[in-house]
Structures are given as C-alpha cells and as structure tokens.
Structure 1
Amino acid sequence: MTRLLGYVDPSEPHFVAAVLTIAFNPLFWNVVARWEPKTREPSGAFGSPAPACCTLGGTILLLNVLRSTQAMLSQSLDNPSAYRVGLALLGVGGVFVLSSFLALGFTGTCLGDYFGILKEARVTTFPFSVLDNPMYWGSTADYLGWAIM
C-alpha cells in the first residue's frame, strides 16, 4: 500500500480539486434531484419537467468532466503495461456507458424519474441484457481505467 501511495501527491492542487469535486458532485445532483419531487420548483422555473431535467443533466455532465479532468491532471503511473490495462478498461467501460445512454436516452440517464419522465417499459436490450447496472459498471471501469493510466 505504501508503494501505491507513493504515486499520489495529496498536497498537489489538482489532487485537492479532484477530491473536492468528487465529494461535491453526487451531493449536488442528489440534493437538486430530490428537491424536484418535493417542491416541483425546478420544473416550475423551467416551465415543465423536460427542460428542467435536461438542464440538471447537462450540469451533471459538465461537473463530471470537471471532476474527471481534475482527478487526472498531474497523476500518472508512467507504466506502459498499466497504460494498456487502463485503455482496455476505458474501452469496455465506454461500450457499457454509451450503449446504456443510447438505450435509456438523455432523460432516462439523467434523473428523469425524479422529474416524472419515465420509460413506458423496462429496458431489457443490450447492455441491460448482460448486466443489471451497466451504466454504473461502465462508469466504474472508465474511472478505474483513467486512474490506472
């Protein structure tokens, strides 16, 4: 473990920013998403649930980009084998994330259920025919792949 911790510099400003964004993002989207069913204020502010959901989804995606870029700056293993393992994980994760996104659509992916935007039936096509939670597994593989790279 000590050897692994030697690769991380917790005093580096990008590391601190990454930790802060990693903690902030889920807190933010859960608070806002749970605010909608209780008050309907976000939908009211945007005129209907769909634009409110899309705005929240877009904000979440931008925060994820910020989180990912902060987490990856100045942190590197500089190992060709690790880089290839990371690329493989990114590839597999990307397939699951993108195919989940295509199967669910934007509002199905980005908390549409909190805004009352539901699918007519459960999605059972790929990748949901392979995994119960392909978006979570794919995202985990992506973040692990980036971390290893």
Structure 2
Amino acid sequence: MHSKVARWEHRTRGLTRLFGGPYVACYFLGFLILLLNVYRSHSITMAMKAGPRCEVLDCPQVFCVGAVLMAFGSVFVLSSFFALGFTGTFLGDYFGILMEQKVTGFPFNVMENPMYWGSTANYLGLALMNASVVGVILTAVVAVSYWVAIMFEGPFTEEIYRQKIRCSKQQ
C-alpha cells in the first residue's frame, strides 16, 4: 500500500504540494507508515497471545533461537535506519529526496533489503519465543508482503536513480 502511495507521489507530487514541500510530505508518510507498523505489530502480538502455545515450539532451545533471531533482526533494522536516515528509510527517493550514492556498507553489504528481512526475523523470533503457530503463519504473510514490495520497489527505485544520473549527465 505505501508503495502505491509513493509511486503516486513520484508521478504527481500530490503530497509534496499538499504539505508544501517534499521533506514535510515524506515525514508525514513515514510517520503514517510507522503508525501502521505499530498497529500491525500489536495485532500480530495479540493474535499470538490469543492462540494456543504449540508444544513442539514450547522449549528452551526454540525460545533461544527466537531470541537470537530478534537480536539479529533488530541489528539489521536499526543499522539500516541509521545508514539510510529517515527519508532514505521511508521512501524519500519517491519524493525526489535522493541520496548522493547507494549505501553499500553494513548491513547492505550483508544482504539486500536488510530492513525488510530484519523485521521478518523479528516477527519470527517473537513467534518462536511465544511458541505460536499463529505467529509463524503471520510471519510468513509478512514475509510474502515484503517480498512483493521488494519486487515493485527495487526496480522502481533503481529507475529513479538512473534518471538522476541521466539528468546530471545532460547538465
């Protein structure tokens, strides 16, 4: 959903006009995305708590695997945010707020899309720590959603930066 809004913004600059500039518009969309993420996380947590605990997952070893996944996931999410900044994290390129160059340091030198996959690791870790089959299933739904978003966002973002390079060569 946020990808559709961002693409619409890139085509029309509707949010930029509405909010009087790209930074305010990007911060608004980023804040909205954060609120929706908090709501999603709360909903997943409530669904896990409402469901039964799975005996197979309810052991110290699985709990520890979950804790490790949450630790690694948090490192990837937080380091991605620090590397990209707020506007880099929340689709600033769709608002015309472009980074000088592609971020290639940690965690991007370890994996593509570390924020999405780190977030997925957090959800899976939480599900395992709660011995929740419902949580594992919802994590799979989140992972598929992220994968779909990556399929659309990646090529579109690359095209935005190709256009930037073309424009700078023409000047």
TM-score, reference length from structure 1: 0.76
- TM superposition shift of 1:144: 1.1
Query: Which range moved further: 95-104 or 69-78?
Result: 69-78
2:90, 2:47 → 1: CA distance? 30
Indicate whether 1:61 and 2:41 are aligned: no
- TM superposition shift of 1:142: 1.0
Partner of 2:8: 35
- TM superposition shift of 1:141: 0.7
Q: Which structure 2 segments of 5+ residues have no match?
A: 130-171
RMSD: 1.5
Indicate whether 1:94 and 2:74 are aligned: yes
- TM superposition shift of 1:74: 4.5
Matches within 5 A, 1:1-149: 27=1, 29-76=2-49, 77=53, 79-81=58-60, 82-149=62-129
Question: What amino acid is aligned across from residue 3 of structure 2 in structure 1?
Answer: N
TM-score, reference length from structure 2: 0.66
- TM superposition shift of 1:38: 1.8
Partner of 1:12: none
Partner of 1:13: none
- TM superposition shift of 1:39: 1.4
Question: What amino acid is aligned across from residue 118 of structure 2 in structure 1?
Answer: G
2:12, 2:43 → 1: CA distance? 33
Query: Residue deviations 1:62-81, cap 9 Å, x none?
Result: 10010011111142537243
Query: Which range moved further: 122-131 or 77-86?
Result: 77-86
Question: What amino acid is aligned across from residue 50 of structure 1 in structure 2?
Answer: Y
Query: Residue deviations 1:102-134, cap 9 Å, x none?
Result: 000000000111101111011111111222221
1:71, 1:88 → 2: CA distance? 19
2:47, 2:122 → 1: CA distance? 18
Structure with the higher fraction of residues in helix conformation: 2
Percent identity over the alignment is: 57
SS at match of 1:121: coil
SS at match of 2:35: helix
Aligned residues: 122
Partner of 1:4: none
Question: What amino acid is aligned across from residue 122 of structure 1 in structure 2?
Answer: K
Question: What amino acid is aligned across from residue 131 of structure 1 in structure 2?
Answer: M
Question: What amino acid is aligned across from residue 32 of structure 1 in structure 2?
Answer: V
